[in-house]
Amino acid sequence: MTQDTLYLLVTCTMEETRFQVLKKCVENINCNFSDHNINNDFLVFDNCSSQKGHDEFLTNNFKNVYKSKKNVGLWSGINWVLKNYKSKMNREYKNICLIESDLIFYRTDQLRNIELFLDSEESSNVGCVRIKEYSVKDNHLFDKSKVNPRMKTYRSRCSHVNYMTKNRVTYEETSFKNIYNTNFHSLICAFNRIDFLKSIFENLAKYEKVFIEGDFYREAYQIKEKCAVLDEGCFYELSADINRNNPGSIYIESSYTDVAKLKELGYVETRLNNRITSQFKVEKLNEQ
């Protein structure tokens, strides 16, 4: 059980496939997180979902569910939470863990160790810890430039070149079991220091033009140059796994599904053409 981490579940279901994976995601959360964390430390931000039964499903499983009156996308949703979570949760947190609605968790007992690591001197230049499934020893199996689509690890492939420095990733063992300091660039879907993430979003919100995911990496690097990684990780993306195992699958992945298809269904892309806005209203769904 973690003690100082806000878990942010971001949802948006405009069609059936995302509702299906959300149900599996929530079932998994209920099996892998303590009742205390679920009841006290989970906040759900919903991006104007339209699927029948979706709102009731969320309020049946979580106490703190907030719904935007329009789909403002992932970035604006997270920004709203960073600005408002203290008043909604009635406390402050040191860390935040973003949960996209198709994630499947395992080994969540490792998360308390990450909290302790981020409180230590060994993490002084670390902004976040990557917790997606990964192997330091067999890192080549997760290398985006090498991995084979037939391999299980294809669902969790990533670049092994730092976006800013263009250097290959290296690893430094820490005194915390399974945690390595690395020169990976920071990620948004990770275990982040909340002040670190808030500073990044404050800078991104000042952009006069749209920004891309790479701008997030750049802003993060200017604040903290290092990013740690949890060996073996503790989640993977269910929709990526389904699509890998079922060629031609229609399961929607916001990062990889065709942009035109996303717009047709009412989704907002997350990698390109991003802009943070505060011009929207949010309501608490299960307000008595």
Alpha-carbon gap, residue 29 to 105, rounded angstroms? 7
On whether the pTM is more than 0.75, the answer is yes
| Torsion angle in degrees (nearest 10) through CA of 193, 120, 236, 210 | 30
pLDDT for 249 equals: 44
Q: Let me know: does 114 contact 179? Beta carbons within 8 Å.
A: yes
Condensed to tens digits (0 to 9), the pLDDT of residues 157-174 reads: 999 999 999 999 999 999
Q: How far is CA 73 from CA 239, 276, 277, in A?
A: 19, 9, 9
Alpha-carbon gap, residue 230 to 108, rounded angstroms? 11
- Token pair for 171: 């690893």
Condensed to tens digits (0 to 9), the pLDDT of residues 252-277 reads: 454 555 556 565 555 566 556 789 99
For residue 71, which of 55, 48, 52 has the smallest C-alpha distance? 48
Q: Which residue has the higher pLDDT, 153 or 44?
A: 44
Condensed to tens digits (0 to 9), the pLDDT of residues 181-222 reads: 999 999 999 999 999 999 999 999 999 989 999 999 999 999
Strands 179-182 and 171-173, bridge-based pairing: antiparallel
Q: Which CATH code for domain 5-284? A: 3.90.550.10
Q: Let me know: does 36 contact 71? Beta carbons within 8 Å.
A: no
Chain center to CA of 216: 13
pLDDT for 288 equals: 47
Q: Let me know: does 182 contact 227? Beta carbons within 8 Å.
A: yes
Domain boundaries, the chain: 5-284
